């Protein structure tokens, strides 16, 4: 069972979401050799690391980073999204796979570019470097789809993060849950395997929220969110508000 209220609090008032042709508010910097989207007030002492989905930098995901940075009127965040795929993300036309070729390309991508052992060792280095250069004192982490698996594995013992979030997560495994040591919010879509997430949820030993978005597709808060659809736009906004409220409470 979830142990936190999922009601959005007054501290967060999501700015108007742009449906298309979004102009990101941040800039790109280099961190641990990776191109990294950076947004938020430079004097903020709280940081959020964003682990994007397999499609890399997309306007919906960049807009989400800006929402995280500027929405909470009582707390501001510096937000950073590294390009873990180094300019070679998956092609969004591969998912969901419509041909055997798409399926093969997607499978190969998960084995190579998206293999967690390739990404996980970089995260402590990135956090340490940004902590020193940007003055970040406390960290949260949020991941989308594939990034949700990275968040699960980055929330274990000795994590540098104080709180974690996973939105429409991929590869949810029950045996990851008992080792999670920080408060955790998960927002599954209607396309995640319910049994897998319920088993994972039962294994948690930390304060948590699991809020389902059953009428949304896998990826609605990131690259696959069609923000020109009013219902998707509304749930995109609600998802980010829930994450921010949870971060506010636990940082």
Rg over CA atoms, the chain: 17
Q: 216-230 burial string, b = 16+ CB within 10 Å, else e? A: bebbbbbbbbebeee
Q: Which domains does the chain have, with CATH numbers?
A: 27-250 (3.40.50.1820)
Q: Which phi and psi angles does 196 have, rounded to 5°?
A: -60, -45
Q: Convert the pLDDT of each residue in 125-151 to its tens digit.
A: 999 999 999 999 999 999 999 999 999
Give every CB contact of residue 209 below 8 A, 6+ residues apart in sequence.
2, 3, 4, 5, 6, 184, 185, 186, 242, 246
**Six token digits for residue 22:** 């979004």
Q: Convert the pLDDT of each residue in 144-196 to its tens digit.
A: 999 999 999 999 999 999 999 999 999 999 999 999 999 999 999 999 999 99
- Note the pTM of the prediction, 2 decimals: 0.93
Q: What is the DSSP letter of 54?
A: T
């Amino acid at each position: 069972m979830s142990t936190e209220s999922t009601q959005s609090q007054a501290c967060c008032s999501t700015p108007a979401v742009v449906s298309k042709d979004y102009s990101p508010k941040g800039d790109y910097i280099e961190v641990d050799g990776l191109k990294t989207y950076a947004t938020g007030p430079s004097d903020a002492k709280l940081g959020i690391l964003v682990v994007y989905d397999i499609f890399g930098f997309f306007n919906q995901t960049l807009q989400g980073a800006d929402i995280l940075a500027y929405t909470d009127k009582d707390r501001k965040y510096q937000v950073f999204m590294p390009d873990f795929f180094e300019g070679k993300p998956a092609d969004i036309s591969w998912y969901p796979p419509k041909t055997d070729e798409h399926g093969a390309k997607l499978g190969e991508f998960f084995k190579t570019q998206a293999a967690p052992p390739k990404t996980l060792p970089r995260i402590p280095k990135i956090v340490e470097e940004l902590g020193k250069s940007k003055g970040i004192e406390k960290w949260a982490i949020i991941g989308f789809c594939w990034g949700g698996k990275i968040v699960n594995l980055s929330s274990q013992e000795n994590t540098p993060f104080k709180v974690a979030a996973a939105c429409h997560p991929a590869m949810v495994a029950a045996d990851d849950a008992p080792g999670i040591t920080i408060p955790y919010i998960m927002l599954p879509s209607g396309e995640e395997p319910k049994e897998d997430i319920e088993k994972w949820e039962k294994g948690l030993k930390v304060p948590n929220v699991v809020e389902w978005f059953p009428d949304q597709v896998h990826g609605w808060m990131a690259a696959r969110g069609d923000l020109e659809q009013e219902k998707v736009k509304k749930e995109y906004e609600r998802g980010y508000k829930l994450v921010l409220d949870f971060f506010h409470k636990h940082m």
